[in-house]
Structure 1
Amino acid sequence: MKFKIEWFYYIVNTILRKQNSYSNKELENASITLNAKIMRSWVSNCNEYMDWLIEKDVIELTDNHSAGHSSRKYRFSEFIMGLLKKDLEIIVTELENLNSGNVILEKSIQESSVYAENEHLLKWFNDKLVIDFEGAKNYIQDVIFYESEYFDLKFKKVHWNYQILALHHKVFYATRNEESDFRLHTVLTSLKKLFKPFVTYGGREIIGYDLKNSQPFFLVFLIESIMNNNSKIDNILSRTYNKSYYNSYMLQKITQTICSKEFQDEYEVFRFWVLDGRIYENMTEIIAPDKHLRKYCNYKYDERLNYKIREIHYSLRNMMKGVFFTLLFCGVKTKDKHYHTFKRAFPNLVGLIEIFKMKKNSDFSKLLQNIESECIIDFVTKKIAEQYPEMPLFTIHDSVSTTVEYGEVLKTLMPYYISQFTGLTPKIEEEKWKKHDYQVDYKKRVELHPEWYAYNGF
């Protein structure tokens, strides 16, 4: 055969990785697009590989593909889905067979196109970054609950196996695309929190600090930057919007909105909620949560799927966080009831957000993520790395982590440099990777919530 096994490995793992992204996590076998230009830079005859995989019923083109009008989308065939669900050891065995010097698993992270500009973070992806593979693998086999729910986890476990194997076999990668979110994506950003307790660096435990209310926080920074003509956001805005369109049309509407007394009154309340670090708790003043049997229920309208999805939360804060993210990133014509409840309470603030979505709904999320990335990746972590070049640094979007002996240094410097960049006082939250306990065993859950299990027939 003229085909090489390593390129089949690359293609299938690319599909798995994209299915495992945040936007696709709710879907069991998501249809995903593959960037033809990037694929051909790796595999010049990638179309032949794709056609062979389709012919052999490994992957399939989804029905909504239209030649010349939409991108080709792929997902696994029903045959392969059945195999993946039936035997989770298949993926483990095949990847272990590929752990050979004769097979190119991935380009070295040092050869990545984004390495030079992000070396202060990417140089720590080396042999010292280790996962307790056996412990994580056994954990996957034993887990029966995930995100407060009891349901079929077989396909999720396929993705989880992929995540721990990529880290175990040092399949490191890095991407950062200024045409999208500009975030730094690595093997750690796709790793579920479930597996953080198994990860160490140089035999040391890892500790992280999250910026609390990060997206609302950067929304406040955006608004105040526009009010004060802060040049820091000029480049970020130009990456998101056409410069002439923004200057000639958007800026005029934004200025009219933020200069009104009604907006200023609403913004004063919103700003206090955000900088106090309790925006999600304070949102209960205007949005009444639906509580049943110690759970908080939310029905979120998914515009992509065109129906409501029931979300279950055991924490009121987590529920309101999800509600707020919907407020920020859904379309302006959404049917989501919480969006309209929030808009009645803050009509001018929501009106401002809708201006940023005028051309495309996703522009606003892209804008806030670009601001976050420039602050955390290009300013905060670079400043820390200059002061402490021997200090390991890892980022997961708005979170920065290091080894425990540098924990206090990071705790001090992270908010200091965020404040330097934004002019605002942030609140950060400690996250000890080793202390995560997302999986409570079955007996303990029954003891804690017997009425829930009785109600649901378990």
Structure 2
Amino acid sequence: MAVKRKYGYYPDNFELQSFCAKYKLPANKVVSILDLFINKPIGQKDEQWIVLNSTLLRKLVGNIYKDIIVALTDYKVIEVNRSYKVGEYSMSYKLLDKYQFANELSKYPLVGGHLNVSLAKTNSRKIFKRYLEDLKLSKIKRRTELPEIIFNTKYRILIHWFKTNKLVIDKDKAVKLLHEKNFKENEPNKYLSYLAAIKMIEDKNYYLKSDRNGRFYSSITNLPKALRSCLSYDGEELVGTDVSNTQPLLLGELCDSVKLNQLKHSKNIIVNELMFNKFINHLNDYPSDLLEYKTLVQEGKLYESFIGIAPNFDRDVVKANMVKIINDRGYNDIKEKKILREALKQKFPTISMLLDLLKSVDHHYSSSTLMSLESWNFVQYFPEIFSYKEANQNIPLFTIHDCFFTTKSKIDYLESEIEAFFQNNLMIHIPLKREVYD
């Protein structure tokens, strides 16, 4: 589910009115499709080519999507790669360079006319029914969006701070930084989404949504770190603090037989049964390497513990390859991964066993499970408990996955509350790092 936007965006050098008049197409639906190239659907890589399947396009604008795609191709706005295979991958599309590297964006209202309340209620009931049916499937196979009532309940604290309309971006400063840091040349595939994020915040046109892992997305999610310094709330600068070593931290917390059984029972993980039972028995023996692992992670020294296992292994090399090992298929396609994977197995066999277990049926369960834990702890659980305190109810709280934002005068207090929360509720010292905008 998502909080729908009032406006969609398109490159300002695209002649929308002339195009729509020539092909007799509704402007709002044309913009809805063009906006997908700028504000890419969740799960799309930051590449010029994007995948837009028929289900997504039909849901967005109806069957007219076919006419719009043909017209945009004929008008030389987009290019279509028609290589696709039913059930495996869909056709892909890209904006031609003339529009991909436009200097500015224009906006257009996406929704027009009167809302059919009866139809909206009927659709909501259908979505809720499909959602309940989807829960019977394994997590990787679920496709139904979160029903509105559940979305608004799960993320009510975060939604509230957007609805106050006190979040502001210094547009002039942000655009200046875009040019000073050469984002157009350095990150060409993201440049338009950065421009859109600036305009969306400026227009109070927040796009709030979640994915199947429970991650919460908003207009500020697409802002690069350098541009976050342009944000303020009620006239005061926003400052962020993020959780260090998030994935290694959550891996340690996953080494819990109760949590793993809950995940398995709810079909949030599908794993090899023999490996699962073997790992639960291993945990019941209280492995000493797990305690050492958790201590190193909470002290921020995990990556340092692997320095020296090979001549070129500094902290950056270890960190980069650790992230790959956590999320990959388990193959050693490069020498660094092979060395580090073997060292992890020797030094922390419990974590190595956990990764093998999570990937035993589908390797996506490793990253998916960690993202779900992240979203539950950082985006749902903590904000809810934090808001219960009367003293905290006027302290703004925004999140970007594992990063928390509040006003500059409250950031020290927020960090102390985060640390206390995780110490008291999960018995862990959570490593925080104040964001630096350069």
Q: Give TM-score scaled by structure 1 length.
A: 0.73
Pick from 208, 233, 251 the counterpart of residue 219 of structure 1. Answer: 251
- One-letter amino acid of the structure 1 residue matched with residue 324 of structure 2: T
User: In the alignment, which residue of structure 2 is the partner of 1:65?
Assistant: 84
Question: CA separation in 2, counterparts of 1:430 and 1:200?
Answer: 17
Q: CA deviation at 1:236?
A: 7.9
- One-letter amino acid of the structure 1 residue matched with residue 162 of structure 2: F
Question: CA separation in 1, counterparts of 2:177 and 2:410?
Answer: 29
Question: CA separation in 1, counterparts of 2:88 and 2:70?
Answer: 18
Pick from 319, 322, 328 the counterpart of residue 321 of structure 1. Answer: 319
What SS does the corresponding residue of 1:175 show, helix, strand or coil?
Answer: strand
Pick from 154, 160, 182 the counterpart of residue 144 of structure 1. Answer: 182
Pick from 196, 203, 224 the counterpart of residue 162 of structure 1. Answer: 196
Question: CA separation in 2, counterparts of 1:3 and 1:121?
Answer: 37
User: In the alignment, which residue of structure 2 is the partner of 1:241?
Assistant: 269
Question: CA separation in 2, counterparts of 1:173 and 1:162?
Answer: 11
CA shift digits 1:400-450 (9 cap, x unpaired): 11112322321111122223342222121222xxx511xxxxxxxxxxxxx
The answer as to 2:437 corresponding to 1:436 is yes
Q: CA deviation at 1:135?
A: 1.6
Question: CA separation in 1, counterparts of 2:382 and 2:372?
Answer: 14
Q: CA deviation at 1:140?
A: 1.6
Pick from 116, 123, 127 the counterpart of residue 160 of structure 2. Answer: 123
- One-letter amino acid of the structure 2 residue matched with residue 254 of structure 1: F
- One-letter amino acid of the structure 2 residue matched with residue 184 of structure 1: F
What SS does the corresponding residue of 1:16 show, helix, strand or coil?
Answer: coil
The answer as to 2:193 corresponding to 1:171 is no
Contact 1:33 1:73 in 2 (8 A): yes
Contact 1:175 1:184 in 2 (8 A): yes
Distance 1:202 1:422, change over 3 A: same
Superposition RMSD on alpha carbons, in Å? 3.2
User: In the alignment, which residue of structure 1 is the partner of 2:293?
Assistant: 270
Question: CA separation in 2, counterparts of 1:222 and 1:99?
Answer: 45
Aligned pair count?
377
What SS does the corresponding residue of 2:37 show, helix, strand or coil?
Answer: helix
Map 1:13-412 → 2, pairs under 5 A: 13-18=35-40, 24-25=45-46, 27=47, 29-34=48-53, 36=55, 39-45=57-63, 46-66=65-85, 68-77=86-95, 80-85=96-101, 88-89=102-103, 91-92=104-105, 94-95=106-107, 98=108, 114-126=151-163, 127-144=165-182, 153-178=187-212, 181-223=213-255, 225-226=256-257, 229-230=258-259, 234-235=262-263, 238-242=266-270, 248-258=273-283, 264-289=287-312, 317-347=315-345, 348=349, 349-387=351-389, 388-412=392-416
CA shift digits 1:290-347 (9 cap, x unpaired): 6xxxxxxxxxxxxxxxxxxxxxxxxx64443322111100111231322211222232
Question: CA separation in 1, counterparts of 2:152 and 2:276?
Answer: 35
- One-letter amino acid of the structure 1 residue matched with residue 437 of structure 2: H
What SS does the corresponding residue of 1:114 show, helix, strand or coil?
Answer: helix
Structure 1: 5+ residue stretches without partners = 105-110, 291-315, 438-458
CA shift digits 1:273-296 (9 cap, x unpaired): 212112223331325436xxxxxx
Distance 1:391 1:62, change over 3 A: same
Q: CA deviation at 1:131?
A: 1.0
Aligned-pair identity in percent equals 18
Contact 1:121 1:393 in 2 (8 A): yes
Contact 1:331 1:361 in 2 (8 A): yes
CA shift digits 1:94-113 (9 cap, x unpaired): 33xx3799799xxxxxx797
Distance 1:103 1:164, change over 3 A: farther
- One-letter amino acid of the structure 2 residue matched with residue 201 of structure 1: Y
Question: CA separation in 2, counterparts of 1:101 and 1:256?
Answer: 56
Question: CA separation in 1, counterparts of 2:209 and 2:183?
Answer: 31
What SS does the corresponding residue of 1:17 show, helix, strand or coil?
Answer: coil
Contact 1:375 1:421 in 2 (8 A): no
User: In the alignment, which residue of structure 2 is the partner of 1:448?
Assistant: none
Q: CA deviation at 1:188?
A: 1.4
Question: CA separation in 2, counterparts of 1:5 and 1:333?
Answer: 48
- One-letter amino acid of the structure 2 residue matched with residue 325 of structure 1: V
Distance 1:75 1:119, change over 3 A: same
Question: CA separation in 1, counterparts of 2:423 and 2:387?
Answer: 17
- One-letter amino acid of the structure 1 residue matched with residue 312 of structure 2: P
User: In the alignment, which residue of structure 2 is the partner of 1:446?
Assistant: none
Question: CA separation in 2, counterparts of 1:42 and 1:337?
Answer: 44
Distance 1:198 1:49, change over 3 A: same
Structure 2: 5+ residue stretches without partners = 1-20, 115-147
Question: CA separation in 1, counterparts of 2:110 and 2:365?
Answer: 43
- One-letter amino acid of the structure 2 residue matched with residue 171 of structure 1: N
Question: CA separation in 1, counterparts of 2:285 and 2:309?
Answer: 23
Question: CA separation in 1, counterparts of 2:337 and 2:427?
Answer: 29
Contact 1:257 1:352 in 2 (8 A): no
Pick from 3, 6, 11 the counterpart of residue 33 of structure 2. Answer: 11
What SS does the corresponding residue of 1:367 show, helix, strand or coil?
Answer: helix
What SS does the corresponding residue of 2:266 show, helix, strand or coil?
Answer: helix
Q: CA deviation at 1:163?
A: 2.4
Contact 2:32 2:61 in 1 (8 A): no
Q: Give TM-score scaled by structure 2 length.
A: 0.76
- One-letter amino acid of the structure 2 residue matched with residue 134 of structure 1: D
Question: CA separation in 1, counterparts of 2:301 and 2:393?
Answer: 34
Q: CA deviation at 1:15?
A: 2.7
Q: CA deviation at 1:383?
A: 0.6
Question: CA separation in 1, counterparts of 2:311 and 2:183?
Answer: 27
User: In the alignment, which residue of structure 2 is the partner of 1:297?
Assistant: none
Contact 2:252 2:294 in 1 (8 A): yes
Distance 1:429 1:52, change over 3 A: same
